[in-house]
Amino acid sequence: MLTAILVMVVLAVTVGLVLGWSAVRFKVEGNPLAEKIDAILPQTQCGQCGFPGCRPYAEAIAKGEADINQCPPGGEEGIKKLAELLGVEPKPLDEAHGAPKPKSVAFIDEQLCIGCTLCIQACPVDAISGAAKQMHTIIAAECTGCELCVAPCPVDCIAMVPIAEDLPHWKWKYPVIELKRVA
Amino acid sequence: MSRKLFKFKGGVHLSEHKAESNARPLHAAPLPGKLVIPLRQHIGNPAKPVVEVGERVLKGQMIGAADGYISAAVHASSSGIVTAIGPAAVPHISGLPDLCITIETDGRDEWIAHAPLDYQAMAAADLRMKLRDMGIAGLGGAVFPSAVKLDPGAAHSCPTLIINGGECEPWITCDDMLMRNRAGEILQGVAVMRHLLGSTEILVGIEDNKPEAIAAMQAAAQSLDFAVEVVAVPAIYPAGGAKQMIETLTGKQVPSGKLSTDIGIQVFNVGTAYALACAVHHGEPLISRLVTVTGHVLRPQNFEVLIGTPMHTLITLAGERDDSTGALMGGPMMGMPMPDLEVPVVKATNCILVKSNALFPPLPKALPCIRCTRCADVCPAELQPQELFRFAKTGDFGRAQEYHLFDCIECGCCSYVCPSHIPLVDFYRYAKSEIWAREKEKRAADLARERHEFREFRLAREKKEKAEKLAAKAQAARTQAGLDQAKRAELPAAPAPELATAPSDADAKKALIAAALARAQAKKAEVAPKNTDHLLPATQREIEEIEARRAKIHELARQPLESEEKKP
């Protein structure tokens, strides 16, 4: 009887120690679910979801504070992926947060730019180069097309230009095949 | 043939249609008036233009320099004036324009100074860079820069070198004609490849439906100082695919996701070997190639064509016929329909196949997949095409990749045998390009995330630095204020001591304001007279006496005026 109790106590202590040690040793920093959600989000950092960037939105989804259908740049496909990850039913995009648009980059009309730096401060990914009273320009390769620079411009010199299809970006289209009527 | 051959899985027997074009002798196509030379003719980075509009260029002059390791240069195919550098129609299925250099030829066909390379004396790396600058790229179809393939890498040698003379696609005969007419030069190129790769076994695989080519290559191989085995392989499509040729000749399969060099085998097309021989033995860059013009034309034949010649010129040379329904670049199985016949011949152009409804009737309307798996039976890559089709159709690209979509060589056997006439390969191409596009988007998103996170970090750091600077300033001000207070304490009358001692709290702003106020007060206090306060009674009495005396003097000073007033 005593041996049995002793064995159980020793076992409990050992297991407890191992668990306690592994909790310290293998501590996961941050929320792994939020990381996974963040990996699906398009990283446009546009804030259309109502959060200041993709990461805060991902954290809100992980906490259950935000819905999965608030990201227009992610589109239907992003919602589908989020639904798959979270094990929920996909739902249509919430129109209140905007509609998906073709991928664009911002373009600054350098004739009109007065060099006020307001767009530089608005850009979430530092994709605008320029300085006070110097002409600004967009680094097209870094621009996510979030449109956050458009509103602050006092002279309306920023336009969103849809990305034109060229050879390196060309994609094979979904084959349209004519089906034979059988009935 | 003594060599034991192996059989790859699947494949289809097609009607060859080779006799149409290989009966006529090889001709050089005449010099066109205008050459349009695309800068993106190979896999990898497009070449960078190194000439300017209006500049006169000579035949063989580099007009586009290789950009990076996986790239190749492009050259002027003839002498003339550069008239444009800009987007122009290129032989691509999309019909999208790409950067090209247009040369108005002057008819003199004047060569730039060039000399053979002493390749045996050159360092291997220098020779490869030289070949890259001579624009040598694989002419079998993929147009991969040959300099990269000629680098044996960490292994330091590639034991087996296979020269691919398979040419399994129907209608095309350019490799056949090249082997018949230029077998010696091809083997000279092979010698250079052998030198660079350190190969010990050299095999030339030719489909057994080209007996003349086999004979010519065997004859040329006799006079070499190293052993070259010319092997006739059974004619079955796609025996000319690199992986299929390897399996037929050696029995080895290239593992999924690996390169043939990982199993010690490198494969080159016969055309590439010929181009290499021209580069090394004559110093001539890749500016021309053999092109089969066949199908719905009057005189199907092979031409030696300068890169940049419009395709329509060649069709006219071969005798254009009415009722043609466009042209394919390549063969009927893997060829790409050309959006326009004015597009130039490029390094990848092995064949221009003119179509007609009689030769290539339009595909019957498709029926749903009945899962008969005939496609799986013929797939030489041993895939499950019916499953890949299902995944591509529904956009389940992850599953498609699990089913090894990227091992598909797009040979078209599955589409050929499909009883429902489903264009299966189109679905695989669609799925592949979608996956690539997503991969690219993912990279862009990762970059954006990184940049956003860095911006957040930078803003936080700037805020912290500003706060620290302010705090340091406040600290300095406090110490100053403390000093001032000490100074004032030494003085007999220090006004506003409650203000001077006030800034002991942590609030930096308050401290600053207090310090400023204290300074102002101190200044004010300095200006105010201080020697009349808290005096000793004796001094006070003295001062009073002085004041009284002053008052008396003032009184006396006024008196004479009064006396004068009284005098009159």
Interface probe, candidates B45, B449, B453, B462, chain A, greatest A C-beta count within 10 A: B449
Please, which pLDDT band fits residue B493 given cuts at 50, 70 and 90?
A: low
pLDDT for B496 beyond 90:
no
Q: Which residues of A touch B454 (CB under 8 A)?
A: 126
Mean pLDDT of chain B: 90
- Are A57 and A128 within 8 A, CB to CB? no
Query: Which pLDDT belongs to residue B463?
Result: 95
Question: Averaged over B105-126, what is the pLDDT?
Answer: 92
Rounded CA-CA distance A35/A29 in Å is 11
Reduce the secondary structure of B352-383 to three states and give it as a string.
Answer: EEEEECCCCCCCCCECCCCCCCHHHHHCCCCC
Give the C-alpha separation, B404 to B387, whole Å: 11
Out of B141-145, B400-404, B553-557, least confident range:
B553-557
Residue B497 scores a pLDDT above 60:
no
Residues of A in contact with B437 (CB under 8 A): 169, 171
User: For residue B61, is pLDDT > 90?
Assistant: yes
Q: What percent of chain B has pLDDT over 70?
A: 93
Angle of the B424-490 helix axis to the B385-394 helix axis, nearest 10: 50
CA angle A125, A127, A130 (to 5 degrees): 130
Does residue B561 register a pLDDT over 80?
no
Of the candidates B212, B220, B222, B270, which has an alpha carbon nearest to the alpha carbon of residue B245? B270
CATH numbers and ranges of domains, chain A: 32-97 (1.10.15.40), 101-164 (3.30.70.20)
Q: Of the candidates B40, B423, B447, which has its C-beta nearest A167's C-beta?
A: B40
Give the torsion through C-alpha atoms of A102, A103, A106, A107, to 10 deg: -70
Rounded Cα distance, B140 and B276, in Å: 13
CA B328 – CA B322 distance, rounded (Å):
16
Spatial distance between the Cα atoms of B482 and B2, rounded to a whole number of angstroms = 104
DSSP state of A95: G
Instruction: Give the whole-angstrom CA distance, residue B408 versus residue B425.
Output: 9
- The pLDDT of residue B531 is 64
3-state secondary structure of A177: coil
Looking at the complex, report in whole angstroms how far the Cα of residue B30 sits from the nearest Cα belonging to chain A.
30
Nearest CA in chain B to A171: B433
Decide if A95 touches B, using CB distance below 8 A. Answer: no
Q: What phi and psi, each to the nearest 5 degrees, are found at residue B482?
A: -60, -45
Give the pLDDT mean for B269-290: 95
Token pair, residue B197, equals 């790769």
A167 reaches B (C-beta below 8 A): yes
* pLDDT at residue B568, as a whole number: 39
Whether A54 contacts chain B with CB within 8 A: yes
Segment (H or E) for A182: none
> In this complex, is the C-beta atom of A58 within 8 Å of any C-beta atom belonging to chain B?
no
SS3 B475: helix
Percent of chain B with pLDDT over 90: 77
Q: What is the structure's pLDDT at B527?
A: 65
Tell me, what's the pLDDT at B169? 93
User: How sure is the predictor about B453, in pLDDT bands with cuts at 50, 70 and 90?
Assistant: very high
Position B567 scores a pLDDT of 43
Which residues are bridge partners to B8 per DSSP?
A: none
CB B149, CB B260: distance < 8 Å: no
Could you give the CA distance from residue B307 to residue B303 in angstroms, rounded to a whole number? 12
Q: What is the mean pLDDT of residues A146-159?
A: 93
User: What integer pLDDT is reported at residue B528 of this predicted model?
Assistant: 60
φ/ψ of B200, rounded to 5, equals -105, -25
Per residue in B171-223, pLDDT (tens digit) is 999 999 999 999 999 999 999 999 999 999 999 999 999 999 999 999 999 99
Q: Within an 8 Å CB–CB cutoff, is residue B461 touching chain A? A: no
Q: Where are the domains of chain B?
A: 19-356
Spatial contact of B330 and B353, defined as CB atoms under 8 Å apart = yes
Q: Which of the listed ranges A6-10, B324-328, B364-368, B558-562 does the model predict with the highest average pLDDT?
A: A6-10
**Regarding beta strands B288-295 and B265-269, do their DSSP bridges make them parallel or antiparallel, or are they unpaired?**
unpaired
Instruction: Look at the alpha carbons of A19, A21, A24, A28 in this order and tell me if their dihedral is positive or negative.
Output: negative
The pairing of beta strand B27-28 with beta strand B301-306: parallel
Tell me what pLDDT residue A163 has. 87
- Give the mean pLDDT of A161-173: 87
Strands B27-28, B288-295: pairing is unpaired
Distance CA B105, CA B344 (A): 15
Characterize the bridge pairing of strands B324-329 and B229-233: unpaired
| Residue B262 distance to chain A (closest CA, Å) | 29
Q: Between residues B55 and B527, which one has the greater pLDDT?
A: B55
Residue B503 pLDDT: 44
The single residue listed with the structure tokens 């950009």 is B67
At A79, which amino acid appears? I
pLDDT at residue B563 greater than cutoff 80 = no
B6 and B248 Cβ atoms separated by less than 8 Å: yes
Task: Give the residue with greater pLDDT, B293 vs B496.
Answer: B293
pLDDT (average), residues A17-21: 95
The answer to whether the Cβ–Cβ distance between B449 and A54 falls below 8 Å is: yes
CA distances from B477 to B153, B225, B511, B512 (A): 67, 91, 7, 6
Peptide bond into B145 cis (omega under 30): no
pLDDT in tens, B223-268: 998 999 999 999 999 999 999 999 999 999 999 989 998 899 999 9
Give the bridge partners for B34, in sequence order. Answer: B104
Distance CA A54, CA A45 (A): 5
Q: Is the pLDDT of residue B3 over 90?
A: no
Among A77, A144, A165, A167, pick the best mutation site for testing chain B contact (most B Cβ within 10 A).
Answer: A167
Report the residue of chain A nearest B453, measured CA to CA: A125
Predicted pLDDT at B196:
93
pLDDT-based confidence at residue B487 (cuts at 50, 70, 90): confident
Q: Does B341 have pLDDT greater than 70?
A: yes
Q: What is the pLDDT of residue B517?
A: 84
Give SS3 for B465: helix
Report how many Cβ contacts below 8 Å link chain A to chain B. Answer: 82
**Cβ contact, residue pair A172, B367, below 8 Å:** no
Place of tokens 């041996």: A3
What's the pLDDT score for residue B500?
A: 45
Residue contact A182–B430, C-beta within 8 A? no
- Nearest-CB residue to A171 (from B365, B427, B437): B437
User: How would residue A102 be classed by pLDDT, with cut points 50, 70 and 90?
Assistant: confident
CATH 1.10.600.10 fits B19-356, yes or no: no
What is the rounded distance in angstroms from the CA atom of residue B347 to the CA atom of residue B51? 20
Contacts of B321 (CB under 8 A, 6+ apart): B296, B297, B298, B354, B356
Q: Does the pLDDT of residue B492 top 70, yes or no?
A: no
**Cβ A55–B453 below 8 Å, yes or no?**
yes
**Pairing status of strand B80-89 against strand B56-57:** antiparallel
Per-residue pLDDT tens digits for B12-36? 999 999 999 999 999 999 999 999 9
Nearest to B4 by CA among B237, B245, B231: B231
Compute the Cα dihedral for B236, B241, B244, B250 and give only its sign.
positive
Assess A30–B contact: CB distance below 8 Å, yes or no: no
pLDDT at B540: 85
Handedness of CA B339, B341, B347, B350 (dihedral sign): positive
What is the C-alpha separation between B239 and B6, in angstroms, rounded? 11
Examine the pLDDT at B499 and tell me if it is beyond 90. Answer: no
